[in-house]
Structure 1
């Protein structure tokens, strides 16, 4: 029986309910090539392209537009429409603009023959398959739907969200989880400008075993093969044990460098990497990393070992262990262990000034618990001193352990609130006085606030006692200190609407006063060493800032509680747009002292000024691309700047930035920092950084290089000169380059991480 239609008709094949096109099309070449692209090199997730990456393909031609099928029926049956169709028994023949649909899948062809009894279909002539962002084309397809086998010939494809296209001559589907591909290739480049493509003569894919085997795979750049392997086994999902791409570089301290990482896939939540790194001046550095990630913890263990450093003259090594966990509700754990073989290790193998200038390496372990009403933390902390010439009595104390308890604010009636915190810690080190310390600080406050003002008087008490060893023979080994504290914190909020058509529509004026009174108690003999010298376990004096002006103690740590009879005054103003976004903020403040500050750190003198230096802070963010910040400390007695830093950041686009920075501390440092990444013309950008110490008249770091980006590849190259220590006369030189094949992988040193950290960081 034959039916001719003047228009398109809908044939619902209800004789074969729930024809499962989803399973039948499960192993189309588009999906197959995607798996190959994602995993062709072991240990790498090659297709790391995220659809949300803005501007990733901005230099590519637009992807071709494909005619979209009409809205599919909501049921789970297989629907066909065609210009003409005929049926004979359970065999259906459709031709002329044939469209088969089921759910999100669509199959187009000039002619389709479907046998309902054997569940086989033959599609011929301009075969096209749509599923989500996949567009698959072929000359013909023969499918045995009953056992999910078949053959697709002359296949090409587009993955629109990945900007990926490719070809496969023949795809043999050999069951629900196995298939073979003949002569495949793919690329992310434009069709008439292929910089790279990946080819394989034959591929075997076994999803049940999560393994793929590629025969005669090669990578071509500009049509020239640059990588070939006759046999390659790789995972279809996740990672697989094998070599990663090498890293090549050069530095003046270590010479030519070449690294070849070996990746070990231990389990879905565990892996390891072993990297031998050849350095022409030093030898081979063995670098290893083990990582784990579970539902309640994550961490890594790293080690580095350089046998017989040819420059240093002996073995070198470094070890670290980092762990974070939440083993149960309310519980948190963390661990950080660091150790190096010698004091020069970070100078030789660290590449940042803030890393190489470290004098002590911290190791610590924390366990904490937080409930609705209270919290507790137990910490063990030790340090490795890198400068062994430092006296034992000048090295930091270990905390073995430190236990902290704090109570959440408790409302006790009448508007009163009760707070309390306590600490027990054991301080230890090889030389000098050691001991235990207990510190308890309860307080009661009466917060009063409205929409325009707040007032909070607070009364507190601090009890501290010690149990000391190795102290002076005639000193008290169990000293104690008891101090009351009284403070009043207050503030007002004024605001006004702005006119004039500018971006700022609201300005606030926020004066704040903070009065603090703590009586003087002599604390110079709380901790006295065997030589009779006054010591502290952990107290120090932080730099003064706007935030520090509202603390009840001008010292860090519990060994010193500063005496105070003072008033902190700060005036702040903010500018906001109509959406409530802060465009600018400015603050000016000063502390006025009504008595001398007699409590000091060992070796320091009594402070007798009647007022602190003026502090000013200004920050602006008038547009999404331009921001600035200024912090200034002005010495009114000397009529000069005591400390300050300023920065301006302009970032008009994701790959363009200009940063200007200046830091100053009187008689200590004066540094400038300029960095940029700026496009010159299509695809070509220059990048650089210049850090200079005006105090020492030396260059700290310079970076000069460029980036060229095309549709499907990026090349970056730079020369970096840096000083691992300000006192060093010579600069260290390194040359970095990186070739990134978009959608595939990259080779060379990770220039992008340096850009993200030093230039493009927000």
Structure 2
């Protein structure tokens, strides 16, 4: 039944009974009631009230409407539910009792036993109030006053986001709560203010404050204090960090983290973030006046920006005032800080990039005077669309200028033109023919040569390459499993003598033969060194794949070089005619086990020169273990380690819904000494986080020796919590 305002008179002194009777679209307001009584022809109408009830009484003399049983009233986005509602048209006042709830347009829900409100629900008083701000967070009190539809002032209030189990009864105590003489919730500014507040943990008061304010839990970002952290390390002593988050506007924010340390004095770190229409930027920095009265600090900045659909540019800025600063204050522990300014473009199958680099080495023997500056480094790669028979033409250009205050300077221009022709045979074999011509031109100064004076001037090379790749997969289905066996071969040729001493080696110093680069035509990573002569590689790949995604695979191979020269360093695995054997075994039958073994075996006696085992086993419900074992022998060609044998493990366990733990360790097997170990526990529920960690390190880094570290952190959720926080 739909009723307009003029039909209300027909219900005078009458009663409508029966479940399911609906009165919708009823126009009720004090202005309309007065207009109808006076016989006005064109009354002014307020926003509509939609309501339904099991029973409705209307008294024309008193101008009251009383609704009983499953009453629902909707006005201006607010929804009121109650057992009984009485509306006085002359006063534009409403009273409701029995299981009263008011749902705001923002989603907040207020429960009460009795309310007296204005007709628009914005003004009034509430008895026995209970407010749900989001899925978990609640405020309860003995009484409250609503003002303007935005402010709710609650007397003798309790605030908590913690759940209480229903089987514990109404007297159960949440993990933590705030009790206050008065609480003011501002729905517009999304804040909760307290007067005479005390924090209780498990019902025990632990902290009092005359005033407290924090964002309500519906706020995604708002200025305020974040969760503090405190602990101790051997480098800075005991410390306490208290972050403050500043929501500058919708596109940018900043976090200030002052840290007090007992041994090194105060530290201030900042994190600035900003989003633009074309990209984003983040800047981390810190500064301190240490125990030697020296100013120290660092910066770690990153930006990425779109210029148009083809081009973008960006930067990375990493610098520290001293080599051990980052490790000392717990930011990170890299070996090199890299600053980079670049622009790059993508169009079709072509790619263009321009870079500038500045490096800061953090190892003890790194010297800024001998560290190179790269300005610029220009790269281009272009590839044509497939032509006749699927052939593809490529063009690669590279320009580099590298300078030092002391040492070798190098300016290089390289160009490589290539052509590739793939072919799939009638038996399923796949063959690819590759031809290329590479020109490298250098202008260098102060290049060291064996038994000769240092060289300065022009040098270069012209290096043709012919290569052929072949593989033939054999597939067989065995029930629900599929087995694939693939023999692979590669042969390549370039003229001998491709690496004259006058060309400095700047970008190809690190090399390791493994299963990944075994079939590469040129196994150097850069352009300063080129693999020359005739070489060939052969190998076999095998795999068994299950219906649920589990698999086991293996690979084994070796390379042959016609020349036995010093192109590759002794112990690299490629310094003889026949290389070392390389391979890989992976076993991953399900999500509970993932095992990979990579190896390099001597071509003389199959003795292991390099072993690397990584394994993950178990689940978080029981225990998840991750392990890594690495073994390099003294003749394995490593430039940083004569011999290295290490074992790393990490164990994680989710003990129950709330508690989890983690333990890890790194062990030097060769020296039978631990390198580091640590343990940590985390408790997290809907309202609270406890995070405790202990770490012990045994290695030394310049002026930093062995260290003991301890971190302790408590987070009371919704009290200004933020996703990213900094600390030692």
Query: What range is the shorter-chain TM-score in?
Result: 0.7 to 0.9
Secondary structure of 1:548's match?
Answer: coil
* CA displacement 1:520-559 (0-9 Å, x = unmatched): 13422333xxxxxxx3222224222222123221212111
2:27 maps to 15
Distance apart, 1:644 and its partner CA:
1.6
1:678 & 1:603 partners in 2: Cα distance?
45
Stretch of structure 1 that moved more, 286-295 or 275-284: 286-295
2:178 maps to 198
Secondary structure of 1:346's match?
Answer: helix
Distance apart, 1:676 and its partner CA:
1.3
Q: 1:388 to 1:574 in 2, by over 3 A?
A: closer
Task: Summarize the alignment of residues 69-80 of structure 1 with structure 2, pairs less than 5 Å apart.
Answer: 79-80=50-51
2:268 & 2:519 partners in 1: Cα distance?
50
1:3 maps to 15
Conserved 8 A contact 1:218-1:227: yes
* CA displacement 1:117-169 (0-9 Å, x = unmatched): 8765332112135689866421123333448434433222457x733344144
1:640 maps to 607
* CA displacement 1:192-230 (0-9 Å, x = unmatched): 242201234334455656666443343221223333332
Q: 1:640 to 1:115 in 2, by over 3 A?
A: farther
2:56 maps to 85
- Picking from 439, 450, 455, the partner of 2:431 is 455
1:439 maps to 414
Distance apart, 1:309 and its partner CA:
1.9
Distance apart, 1:692 and its partner CA:
0.5
- Picking from 465, 471, 487, the partner of 2:467 is 487
2:459 & 2:437 partners in 1: Cα distance?
17
Distance apart, 1:593 and its partner CA:
1.2
1:248 aligns with 2:238: no
Secondary structure of 2:385's match?
Answer: strand
1:189 maps to 163
1:184 & 1:619 partners in 2: Cα distance?
60
- Picking from 236, 256, 267, the partner of 2:249 is 267
- Picking from 670, 674, 686, the partner of 1:695 is 670
1:143 aligns with 2:117: yes
1:108 aligns with 2:81: yes
Length-normalised TM-score, structure 1: 0.79
2:316 & 2:73 partners in 1: Cα distance?
59
Conserved 8 A contact 2:242-2:258: yes
Conserved 8 A contact 1:568-1:589: no
Conserved 8 A contact 1:184-1:200: yes
- Picking from 482, 488, 491, the partner of 1:512 is 488
Secondary structure of 2:530's match?
Answer: coil
Q: 1:591 to 1:677 in 2, by over 3 A?
A: closer
2:140 maps to 167
Conserved 8 A contact 1:562-1:597: no
2:307 & 2:213 partners in 1: Cα distance?
38
2:458 maps to 478
Secondary structure of 1:8's match?
Answer: coil
1:194 & 1:606 partners in 2: Cα distance?
64
* CA displacement 1:457-478 (0-9 Å, x = unmatched): 1111111101223458885622
- Picking from 496, 501, 512, the partner of 1:543 is 512
1:52 maps to none
Conserved 8 A contact 1:309-1:315: no
1:215 & 1:715 partners in 2: Cα distance?
27
1:532 maps to none
Length-normalised TM-score, structure 2: 0.82
Distance apart, 1:338 and its partner CA:
1.6
1:678 & 1:147 partners in 2: Cα distance?
51
1:600 maps to 567
- Picking from 305, 318, 322, the partner of 1:342 is 322
Distance apart, 1:12 and its partner CA:
1.7
Distance apart, 1:238 and its partner CA:
5.0
Secondary structure of 2:328's match?
Answer: helix
1:96 aligns with 2:96: no
* CA displacement 1:309-358 (0-9 Å, x = unmatched): 25xx6433222222222232222222111222223323423476xx26x1
Stretch of structure 1 that moved more, 542-551 or 457-466: 542-551
2:586 & 2:475 partners in 1: Cα distance?
19
1:436 & 1:2 partners in 2: Cα distance?
100
Distance apart, 1:172 and its partner CA:
3.3
Where relative contact order (Cα < 8 A, 6+ residues apart) is larger, the structure is 1
1:624 maps to 591
* CA displacement 1:549-571 (0-9 Å, x = unmatched): 23221212111111142222232
1:123 aligns with 2:96: yes
Conserved 8 A contact 1:572-1:585: no
Tell me the C-alpha RMSD between the 2 structures: 3.6
Conserved 8 A contact 2:483-2:545: yes
2:386 maps to 411
2:406 & 2:213 partners in 1: Cα distance?
59
- Picking from 349, 352, 364, the partner of 1:376 is 352
2:645 maps to 670
Task: Summarize the alignment of residues 259-338 of structure 1 with structure 2, pairs less than 5 Å apart.
Answer: 259-310=241-292, 314-338=294-318
2:192 & 2:684 partners in 1: Cα distance?
32
Distance apart, 1:727 and its partner CA:
8.7
Secondary structure of 1:600's match?
Answer: coil
1:363 & 1:295 partners in 2: Cα distance?
24
Q: 1:388 to 1:646 in 2, by over 3 A?
A: closer
Distance apart, 1:729 and its partner CA:
10
Conserved 8 A contact 1:361-1:384: yes
Conserved 8 A contact 2:445-2:456: no
2:342 maps to 366
Q: 1:390 to 1:717 in 2, by over 3 A?
A: closer
1:658 & 1:678 partners in 2: Cα distance?
9
2:544 & 2:49 partners in 1: Cα distance?
61
Give the number of aligned pairs. Answer: 673
Stretch of structure 1 that moved more, 381-390 or 600-609: 600-609
Stretch of structure 1 that moved more, 295-304 or 461-470: 295-304
Secondary structure of 1:12's match?
Answer: coil
2:532 maps to 563
1:688 & 1:604 partners in 2: Cα distance?
36
Conserved 8 A contact 1:77-1:102: yes
Query: Which segments of 5 or more consecutive residues in structure 2 lack a partner in the other structure?
Result: 1-12, 30-46, 166-171, 635-642
2:220 & 2:398 partners in 1: Cα distance?
47
1:37 maps to none
- Picking from 713, 719, 722, the partner of 1:738 is 713
Distance apart, 1:707 and its partner CA:
4.4
2:151 & 2:515 partners in 1: Cα distance?
66
Find the structure with the greater CA-based Rg. 2
Q: 1:649 to 1:474 in 2, by over 3 A?
A: closer
1:22 maps to none
Query: Which segments of 5 or more consecutive residues in structure 1 lack a partner in the other structure?
Result: 18-75, 528-534, 755-762
Q: 1:403 to 1:679 in 2, by over 3 A?
A: closer
2:696 maps to 721
Q: 1:726 to 1:315 in 2, by over 3 A?
A: closer
Q: 1:541 to 1:276 in 2, by over 3 A?
A: closer
* CA displacement 1:701-743 (0-9 Å, x = unmatched): 1113444567754534332101353799953101222334455
Q: 1:133 to 1:292 in 2, by over 3 A?
A: closer
